[in-house]
Amino acid sequence: MTLLRKLSVSALAVLLVCAFTVPAFSQVNVTFRVNTATANDTLNPSHFLQMRGQHTGTFPGGENISWDNASDLVLSNDGGDYWSLTIQMSPQDTLYYKYWAGFSLDPERSISSGGWEFGFVKGPLDWDTRTFICPDTDTTLAMAYFHDDGTVEQLWRPFEVKEDTVAIWFRVNMDGLTKKQQFDPAANGPVGIRGDGGTSAGAIDWGATKVLLAREGDSGFWSGAAYIPADSLTADVKQPYKFYVENKHADGPDWESIADNREFVYSTELLTMTMDTTLAWQWFNNEPLVNEDPVDGNVVFRVNIEALEKTGLFDRTIGDSIQIRGPKGWDDATALRMDFNPVLNEYTVNTPFKRVVGDNITYKYFIKWDSSRVDPASPNYFGGLFTEAADLDNGWEEPGITGGGNREFKFEGVAQQFLAGDFDRDNQYFDSLLPEGVLTEETTVTFNINMAPAADVTTNPDFELFRLGTDSVWVELNTPPLAQTQGFASMDDARYLLLDPDGDGIYSGDAVLKAPTFIAINYILVYSTADAGTYVRNDNGPVAPGRRYYQFVPPYEVTADGPNFPTAFNFATFDWKNGGELTVEDPPDLTTISAVNSGNDLLPARFALEQNYPNPFNPSTTVKYSLAKTSDVRINVYNSLGQLVKVLVDQKQDAGSFEVTWTGRDVAGRIASSGIYFVKMTAGDFKSIKKMTLLK
């Protein structure tokens, strides 16, 4: 921007009110303050914010100001988006200026908008710059907000100032999603804020978008403010929130799928002095604008629900079904519907995506129970936690493989992408509940929790401290499927009191579990406080690993017929932890046989189907398998649609180790096409499936 051009424009000379005064001198100190949260790029402390312009006098300190990168007036970063500069000026001198933002001065490299602020409302001299006339006393100017879009007043700010009200300004950039064809600003939106209503006096809510953001011109930025009465807020409390898209794209998200909630703190300074704050802008979903274009690909989801069937919590014959929520949206309307594959005994769906390779996709499985489950007149009626239609919304899984958090995978952009199974198995399982992991007898489990960390501010900084020997603590079963097997009428009832009779800080208590139920016990901790009726729950973590505690009842033996479980088990001691950090045990081995006839030491200790070798293969591959006892064995090959391709074994065999070769031909002797195949072994109650890849 040349000096000639700058001299041809003008702005109103504005005398800004000073924050404090001292006796007049011939030279005064002037402090300029700037907030760059409103800039269309991210500046960090190593970058540059420079004042460029011209001056009617001379600076007593000898500084130079110009309309190019030679200007000496470079602001210092005060932390985050705040910058300041203090210079000496002479009274009545006039400064015409704008701010320039960039990543380096020499060579000059500006932020994406070109670096310059845009225009300001012109004054009598027809100039569109900022203007300052130096007063007779030391002056700190009101906060300026970097402005790089349209024309505004010099004292413009991105939010309103309301009496006795705290303004929180949010800003998000949607260009990353737009590039990935998951958001169209002409058709989707507006974007809004959702978060905890308890900490925001209801101004923000998880269930409804009460704060809507507006698009900034034709840019990818959306911004807006929440206004909250100051006397309704508590100092030093964290406010969790996420960005949310109304009227979402068919292939795009509504909720952000980032693991941790976003958050800021209602500081004492905010509530008593500044009364407003601008939050640094974020990319929606933390997904920046990338150079890569989205590509087509298919993802195969597979989930086994045998454990739910064994406990009476699922019956596809009456209309119960399985959905996937998250990849296309988190509600019923956007859920992926899965089909039952009777051959593989699992629910599957092959879903097309158009994403950038490497995109992180989050999801969970969801039980879509039939409406008869809440009909008291129906033989399918559940009762317990499920008595009315709204209760059917509690079909979310809390998978043990993630400690209750969301599942996730990286998009590969291939014709068929298969997802990793739970606990190194081929399958994923609803709630990570293994089909062998069902208790068929009443079982007493003993919980042991070290509550000392809850009583220490260094390990419990966010909640009222637990008072050892005074407060009470409970284990709360924290997923509807587990609580439903115990017949509880509400989740608040699904609690077991823990006691510390010897005063060592280890609180223990028994839970008598009705059968059938699961060996996987997921729970949180709840403790009382000095405020009667107020409780602390450590379920405050995000939808990420560590959201729930997980402990398992291990078998005391595994025979050829399967695992046998004790009717009483004492769990290992866990420490109280904050939400998001809760401990998850590894599941026990449920397949390696421990009870073996000593006269048959050379026989296999378990049933097993090994991975074929080679894999991928062309034209043939070998499948090895083991039998722990004489069994009727059937080994078949199926294609990805569940259609029978080849019968490899169908006979009674004695205990031992075997192998069989598939030559890559179908039942009619034709050469099978390239692709994914499944080899399934059934031997008595034992079932196992391995995935194979035939390449040509």
- pLDDT score recorded for residue 599: 39
- pLDDT score recorded for residue 688: 86
Average pLDDT over residues 282-291: 91
Per-residue pLDDT of 324-382, as tens digits, reads 999 988 999 999 999 999 888 999 999 999 999 999 999 999 999 999 999 999 999 99
- pLDDT score recorded for residue 4: 31
- pLDDT score recorded for residue 602: 59
User: Alpha carbon of 204 to those of 164, 248, 270, 276: distances in Å?
Assistant: 18, 20, 18, 16
pLDDT band at 267 (very low <50, low <70, confident <90, very high): very high
The Cα–Cα gap between 111 and 96 comes to: 22
User: Alpha carbon of 394 to those of 432, 478, 479: distances in Å?
Assistant: 17, 11, 9
- pLDDT score recorded for residue 541: 60
**Whether the predicted pLDDT of 560 surpasses 90:** no
Structure tokens belonging to residue 263: 């958050």
pLDDT band at 562 (very low <50, low <70, confident <90, very high): confident
The kind and range of the H/E element at 484 are: helix 480-485
- pLDDT score recorded for residue 533: 86
CA terminus-to-terminus distance, the chain? 62
Per-residue pLDDT of 12-41, as tens digits, reads 333 333 333 444 447 999 999 999 999 988
Please give the share of the chain, as a percent, with pLDDT higher than 90.
Answer: 72
The Cα–Cα gap between 417 and 301 comes to: 9
pLDDT band at 539 (very low <50, low <70, confident <90, very high): confident
- pLDDT score recorded for residue 598: 37
CB 44 within 8 A of CB 102: no
Structure tokens belonging to residue 592: 């390696």
Please give the share of the chain, as a percent, with pLDDT higher than 70.
Answer: 94
pTM of the model: 0.73
**Whether the predicted pLDDT of 210 surpasses 50:** yes
Name which of 312-321, 381-390, 676-685 the model is least confident about: 676-685
- pLDDT score recorded for residue 98: 95
In 3D space, the residue among 45, 38, 44 whose CA is nearest the CA of residue 146 turns out to be 38
- pLDDT score recorded for residue 3: 33
The torsion angles phi and psi of 273, rounded to 5 degrees, stand at -125, -65
- Say how many CA atoms lie within 13 Å of 254 toward its Cβ: 19
Per-residue pLDDT of 166-201, as tens digits, reads 999 999 999 999 999 999 999 999 999 999 999 999
Strand partners, 417: 299
- pLDDT score recorded for residue 221: 94
Q: What is the mean pLDDT of the chain?
A: 90
CA 146 to chain centre: 32
- Report the relative pairing of strands 631-639 and 165-173 from DSSP bridges: unpaired
Q: What's the count of helices (H) and strands (E) in the chain, helices before strands? A: 5, 47
Per-residue pLDDT of 457-498, as tens digits, reads 999 998 999 999 999 999 999 889 999 999 999 988 999 999
Average pLDDT over residues 444-452: 96
Average pLDDT over residues 523-531: 94
Q: Is 452 buried (19+), middle (13-18) or exposed (0-12) by CB count in 10 A?
A: middle
Counted residue by residue, the chain has a size of: 696
- pLDDT score recorded for residue 290: 85
Per-residue pLDDT of 77-124, as tens digits, reads 998 899 999 999 999 999 999 999 999 999 999 998 789 999 898 866
Structure tokens belonging to residue 60: 């007593």
Average pLDDT over residues 503-524: 96
- pLDDT score recorded for residue 374: 97
**Whether the predicted pLDDT of 596 surpasses 50:** no
- pLDDT score recorded for residue 642: 83
- Say how many CA atoms lie within 13 Å of 93 toward its Cβ: 19
- pLDDT score recorded for residue 540: 67
Name which of 159-173, 203-217, 544-558 the model is least confident about: 544-558
- pLDDT score recorded for residue 181: 92
The Cα–Cα gap between 554 and 220 comes to: 53
Per-residue pLDDT of 214-265, as tens digits, reads 999 888 999 999 999 999 999 999 999 999 999 999 889 999 988 889 999 9
- The three-point CA angle 289-293-295 to 5° equals 135
Name which of 250-259, 296-305, 389-398, 442-451 the model is least confident about: 250-259
pLDDT band at 603 (very low <50, low <70, confident <90, very high): low
- pLDDT score recorded for residue 124: 63
CB 542 within 8 A of CB 260: yes
- pLDDT score recorded for residue 150: 83
Domains, the chain, with CATH or none: 3-145 (2.60.40.10), 165-286 (2.60.40.10), 295-432 (2.60.40.10), 438-575 (2.60.40.10), 600-694 (2.60.40.4070)
**Whether the predicted pLDDT of 610 surpasses 50:** yes
The Cα–Cα gap between 232 and 265 comes to: 14
CA 271 to chain centre: 29
**Whether the predicted pLDDT of 692 surpasses 50:** yes
CB 531 within 8 A of CB 654: no
Instruction: Kindly calculate the radius of gyration of the chain based on its CA atoms and give it in whole angstroms.
Output: 33
- Report the relative pairing of strands 506-513 and 443-450 from DSSP bridges: antiparallel
| DSSP letter (8 states) at residue 310 | H
